[in-house]
Structure 1
Amino acid sequence: MRCSSNLCIALTVATLTTPLCAKRTKAAPGVFEALSNSGASQFAAAVRDTPDLLDLLIAGEIAHLLAPADSHSPSLFRPRHGSLPHERRASNSSTPITLQAVAYNQRLEDMQSGTSRSRALKGRTASPDPYYGFVVETVHEANLNDDAGQNLVVQPVDHYSASDDDDDGPTIIAQVYSGLGKVVNVLKGKFEFARCANKTGSIYRVEDYFSVPENLCNTVEKLKLTIFEALVKCSSLGELLNRRPSITVFVPSNEAFEDAGIVEPDHRFSKQTGGKIKSLVVPNFLGYTPNLEDGQVLTSMNGTKIRIEIREDGIFVNGAKIVQRDIILENGVAHVIDEAFPWR
């Protein structure tokens, strides 16, 4: 007989809190005990309410949880009324939760030991190329090629060292770039939980939930990149750019457009604008900053060549500097640049 939804969840939770797996590691606690130990009980409650994530945890497919600490983030809770207690958001609570779960990634392990910082410093002293972190794949669904899960970019913080004194508060060891330009701090400290087959998973504390990536048009609207938004609308490219998987978009800032003489675009720009917008879009390439290389030449949607330069003062795209990096989209990534190079 098929069990009810609530019973199935209860059985799954029991599996994750008691050693039902014959080969479960004895030295590490279950995931919910580990989350409690890490000070992430609110996140633990959200995980309990997310059946898909529970299934992956019980199967041993989740190696890392980036868990918002209770003391920092009440993001999944809100007051229903001023005098009533908090309640969980009714709208698809699983959406931000799956964005916090990652399959095994060695660089996350290195980050806690300071190895990633050592690589960063070596990169800065041995060559002119700054170190731009690494990409992790979450179990959150995304519109990317090869059915990949949603990616996030992790940037280790240079001033971290394994001997830092924590008396003045938690040490920030990295930052995570997520949707809508949100950047979340990762705190020093790792908590292990038991997986099957004598494996352990890791819990890293973060200061907030990651923002769920949205499509390009929603993203530029919410970031108030109004001129680019208007140009996309009048060129009728919005639906194409929102749906095409694995794109990289270089978005000129409002100031960049103003410097190029584009202030209040309207439908008169539609015929000439389409090609210029396409010259800012690279198809079938996830150009997160860790994936960009000095001297690399990318081909845009209309065939324009885009040359990447990595200097000590930043990353440049056809001479335009990236001033806001790694804005994660549901179908790729966007970077804000300080020149509208197709309009030069």
Structure 2
Amino acid sequence: MEMHKPKRHKSSHQQQSGRRGSVDTSKPSAIFTPTGGRSHTLSIALPGSIIANAQSHDQKSYVAGTIARALAVFCVDEVVIFDDDARQGKNSYANDLNTDEYTAFSDPSHFLAHILSYLETPPYLRKHLFPMHPNLRTAGMLPSLDMPHHIRATEWCDYREGVVIPDDGKGGDKGGVDIGKKRRKETSQAVDAGVPSSTVVDTGLPQKVSLPNIHIPEYTRVTVKFSSPDTPQRAEPVHPAAPREETGYYWGYSVRRCRSLSTVFTECPFDGGYDLSFGTSERGCSISKVLAEESIPKYRHLLVVFGGVAGIEAAIQADQELLDKGVTPDEAGKLFDYWVNVLPGQGSRTIRTEEAIWLGLMGLRPLVEANGR
């Protein structure tokens, strides 16, 4: 009996190449392609206590790496780490990013922020911005994010991330600086226009970039824009959001720490705050049902909040400001525009926060894509 031969449909790549066997599968092909300026943003918030729930350093690092991969894959622009333990918020927040101590057990929120900041930074800048630190002792085993701004020296882009280095003619550095000095600064804050000098920036290219008549403190991370590929030594500093707003590049995520759940909203860095918010809980409505039945408005700044082991309710219980306003853990859903369940009918008794992030961002992907059209 003659076997059935399925019909073969040419892929778009095969149709363009016109011949079989021309697909090169030895290298990744899913290269991010900007489609135009984007003003809207996607933010997520989660408690640092999820690191405390992991038992060993390797497990804690794995959780942080898994979260970082989700942020990169789903083009998250901001990640907010809040404390859902009132005691932790009082004791550790003041020194959040200015410590040389190992913090995986003493301050899990700092540990998570440290790892996420390290992974977001382009590899060629890490030697300048991150000194040796106990939190990063297994950094070599962390997953690569390979985001659009992690550009190779052989690749060209109109924008690049750089770091101001001493102008000693050699481009040397001091082996890294404290992570607290690494945090992104807007160009308007970093540039002192009153000092007529030249600033040298390492952007990962063979030639260092010179910014004439501009003074920026050493070891400040800056975003620069080139005028032409023919003059890679000439560029101008721009706002970190410029690649996204002007061209549509996904340009990594910023990391923000908060004392409590309420300050996630009150300390929002965007003008007008978050105009659309989702809270996630197993007690929420199905996320697919919400997207299918609700008329969700367009947004400028979307926030998705995930809870820890005890859920968002625990964060409310630890937030005195919310309690003073009469918000109780039983009313957690009222804090958000939508209260959703990322996976109804789950087979496991629990869904870990790092898993919920992947599920939630995947479930909201149609909303994010539709908002950009």
TM-score by length of structure 1 reads 0.25
TM-score by length of structure 2 reads 0.24
Structure having the higher strand fraction is 1
